[in-house]
Structure 1
Amino acid sequence: MAAQTARAETLGRGADRDIEIGEPLPYWNTTGARVRRRRLQGNPTYAAMISNLDTNVGRVADALRRNAILDDTVVVFTSDNGGLHSNSAPTSNEPLSEGKGWLEEGGLRVPMIIKPACLRDRDAVQGGTTVHTPVSGLDLFPTLLELSGLSQLPERHLDGRSLAGLMTHPGPDIDELSRRALFWHFPHYNYGGASPCSAVRRGRWKLMRRYETATESLFELTSDPGETLNLAATEVSHRADLGRLLDDWLRDVHALVPRPNPSRQFDEYDVGSDGTTYERP
């Protein structure tokens, strides 16, 4: 980690620098505490971890190559969420908004790299191709089945779609997958500062529904991946269409949706450093 620490110092950064203090954390037991967001990369410990990960991915690939099975092996590199950007704040997802535990793009949008095995038709898979169509981790199971030459098991991957076609005949598959709606539901408070939310994306449009404030936000992600411009008030038809999709999906999966508790009572118990009164049930 010495090299990463020296690099951070050279750049004028460090584990406790480039932190932005935001809104109060939404819990009664976090008296006076606020969300802390990292705005620039600069944590040497995190950098050392990423370097170690990179080295060991290379070791796996080298082992497959030495044993002459690399061409017969499907390798997938991805993540289940964006980097943790708040509170302990080891990383930043800029220019994407927020991070792990949030339904903003910084928490959802991650790379997925697939090296397929060379199957019967070695010319069928186009290497080095970048596909911008949004996909989901739910797609991995049916994808691996198809790339392995196995039959699909639709009763076991109800929400996933095989992505094999994106690597062999991408035209029709990209068109079909680009029209698919993707859904997220996180009806909880997050230790990093996020509050209960659901979201749906179809194509370039994304709707977020926040339950604590009973508000919706609409973003056009092609031109605004950082979700800086809320278009909910002007793009009424897109908001309504996505809202209906989200309503139908939440009902279809029997999602638990938080609602206000009308009997909740509060007792004042502290005043923060900025004069804000914090209460608890």
Structure 2
Amino acid sequence: MTSAFHLPSSTSQSATSTPARISTSNPSYSDDDDDEDTLPYPIELPRSDFLQPDFDPQTYLSSLRNRHQTLEDLRSDLRQRSQLLNQELLDLVNGNYEEFLSLGADLKGGKKRVEGVRVGLLGFAREVETIKKGVQDRVLEMEGLLREKKEVRRDVGLGRSLLEVEERIGELEEGLGISSLTDGFLDEDAGAPEDLDDEDEAVGPVKRLRRHAEQYLLITHTAEQIGFGHPFLQAQRSRIEQVRKTLLLDLASAVRQAKRERASEDMLTLLDIYARLGAEGESLRVLRSGG
């Protein structure tokens, strides 16, 4: 009698051997079952496939038709993947739990902080408006000062022009000998008006008259720019008229002398002076009068 226990040789299989094909006569097995047992095990679904920006579940599932995997196994893999993601999310929340708590503590009492910020902003806005108003006031003040400066400069220019007119009138009166005549006496050492200025005598009477006429025209031009209605010019009007009368008298004397001497060049110069003074009629009267 032997103690060894032996399985029937017809049913024994090796643990590492490929399953044997079962006869098709057995209704419990089929060729499809045999094919599924011999197929390679599918690899794990790549995680990167689910992270695509254009991921679409239906499109993705339709691309898995060649995985040689049953629908139930695919569902099981997806369930495991979902559980894994839930666990990762839970670990992430647990890992950042302290930060979540601190965030909640920071948000507590936030209305008071927001109100404090709002009050601070309102105060800042009021300060800005105050500064803005101050700047506007300074701008208006500066504009007023600039206008005042412009007026002062204009007044200074006007004063200089008036002083220049008065000075030129005085020089012209001295050159024409009016100052001594208007004072009612002649200086004994002064002599005739022509002797008052040796320089005038050196240039000749005709050239001296032309220079006096130019000074007179400069005086009238400046007075026109200022306006004869100015009080100072109104006060100087009699002096200007006296200068013109004296100048015309000297011109008449010079014309008569040039006519006697038949000095044609001097005559043309004197007639030009008459024209510049606007006294052409006076020149004709002098020429017709003879002398």
TM range (shorter): under 0.3
Q: Which is richer in helix? A: 2
Higher share in strand: 1
**TM-score, normalization by structure 1:** 0.22
TM-score (norm 2): 0.21
Bigger radius of gyration among the two: 2
Tell me which of the two structures has the higher relative contact order, counting C-alpha pairs closer than 8 angstroms and 6 or more residues apart: 1
